Amino acid sequence: MSHRPIHFYFRGAIRQLDGVAPTRTVLQYLREDAHACGTKEGCAEGDCGACTVVLGERVDGQLRLRAVNACIQFVPSLDGKALFTVEDLDSLGMTGRLHPVQQALVDRHASQCGFCTPGFTMSLFALYENHPECPSRNTVCDSLSGNLCRCTGYRPIVDAVPLAYAPPRIGVDRGAVLAALDELAALPALEYVGAGRRFSAPNNLPALAAARLAAPDARLLAGCTDVGLWVTKQLKDPGDLIYLGAVEALKAIRSDAAGLFIGAGASLTDAFAALTTFAPAWAGLARRFASLPVRNAGTLGGNVANGSPIGDAMPGLIAMGCEILLQQGERLRRMPLEDFYLAYQKTALEAGEFVLGLQLPPQPAHRHFRTWKVSKREDQDISAVCGAFIVDVSDGHISGARIAFGGMAATPLRARATEAFLLTRPWNEATVTAAAEVLAHEYTPLSDMRASSAYRSRVAAGLLQRLWLECGGAITAPRSLADLEDAL
């Protein structure tokens, strides 16, 4: 396989990059090589948002712009894309003037030390480009969930957004960017070698299957939101990399009579949008899963394949009866997602195999489904416990139950004793109270810095009682601050 340089659109032109290590981050490239120091280095793990940049891709014939964390994106993943940093805002037809987002931040006194301001600006720039009309305050807050400020605080930053929508409106020249992306798309699939390591980016499923069989020990890389930290925080060498982001077929999402299929390469943003349409009770977890820049880069397939016992998506997927589809060469196999996890961060994935996608079966109308995350912070926090519940009710009795938890064992795990207890019993408070007692003793969770074992067990039982309060008709008042805001 022949080597070619990395190609991407940057500063109004297609750039070529060669000779850098495949694990060099976009942030390192910007600050140390391109001397574009407006993008700041803070946490180097995708939490603080000081390094936020915006990536552009062609999706369904349109330019899609999304904010991501430059500190945990590897430079070869830029291939075929457009990159925008805070310095680019000066080139949008406003020579000598600030971009409307920047001007609004100035007018609202939304910057003090200024270190975090470029990151906030780029998150708001993406919001501005993606919303022709001024979005709701909740949408603004969600778009800033990946940006931290310790000086100004958030109110003046959020208050600046409506000011940015005052005319004149300034936007990216989408035609020029799309033309450049079309030129990039005509290049052969990226095979890049640097610092003794290979970065392969096959651009179709057969090529991916062949590459995986040829290099079963290579590290599969999707959104880089986990592997990136191995490099920046643990100083690990992940070895040769096979990048999944160029395989469009892996990003497929479809809903039909068979249920919902989500390709392994679909971003968390797109996957959660589909899950929420499929079952609206996913909405709360979707909003609190990491931050928007992380959801824009990370994939649902990567979250599932990672095998973390606190991966927040898995309990809900398991409760809904999700199957995982695996491919090895031309062979396809599927299994219940709960059977995919064998031990702590050990899965049933075989050599030369990769995750193709996830299939959720249709959900009956009489089904109650909820999934909740419990953590110390509302945004950007690791779960202490994540629970998911399905209860099927027929003629006032429980005809089916599936309960799964993350954070309670070495793998995401179903609460089978509690499920068995619930079956055939009346769907009422007494049943749920008794089942909560069973659930409180079903797991033996560990104690760590996030929560004690006793706390986790109490929370798990409490979430089952919350299911009754929400789905059993016992609560008519708003159940959360978001519900209260909607009611007002």
Which tens digits make up the pLDDT trace of 141-155?
999 999 999 888 899
Adjacency order of strands within the sheet including 253-256:
253-256, 259-263, 354-360, 323-328, 331-336
Span 292-300, average pLDDT: 97
The two tokens of residue 68 are 């991501």
Closest to 144 (Cα-Cα) out of 180, 182, 101:
101
Distance CA 353, CA 441 (A): 37
Span 180-189, average pLDDT: 98
pLDDT tens per residue across span 322-340: 999 999 999 999 999 999 9
> Helical H runs in 108-224?
117-130, 137-143, 155-164, 174-185, 205-214
> Can you tell me whether residue 367 is helix, strand or coil?
strand
CA angle, 116 as apex, 113 and 120 as ends, to 5°?
A: 130
Residue-wise DSSP of 295-323: HHH-BHHHHHHH--TT-THHHHHHHTT-E
pLDDT tens per residue across span 246-265: 999 999 999 999 999 999 99
Q: How confident is the model at residue 479 (pLDDT cuts 50, 70, 90)?
A: low
Q: What is the pTM of this model?
A: 0.95
pLDDT tens per residue across span 373-424: 999 998 889 999 999 999 999 999 999 999 999 999 999 999 999 999 999 9
Residue 53 has pLDDT above 80, yes or no: yes
Q: Pick 168 or 142 by higher pLDDT.
A: 142
Burial class (CB in 10 A: 0-12, 13-18, 19+), 258: exposed
**Helix axis angle, 429-440 relative to 453-471, nearest 10°?**
160
The structural domains of the chain, ordered by start, are 6-88+174-243 (3.10.20.30), 93-164 (1.10.150.120), 249-360 (3.30.465.10), 367-471 (3.30.390.50)
pLDDT tens per residue across span 351-377: 999 999 999 999 998 899 999 999 999
What is the average pLDDT value for the chain, to the nearest integer?
94
Name, in order, each residue with C-beta under 8 angstroms of 151's C-beta and a sequence gap of 6 or more: 111, 112, 113, 116
Distance CA 173, CA 63 (A): 10
The two tokens of residue 453 are 């074992």
Closest to 414 (Cα-Cα) out of 436, 393, 440, 389:
389
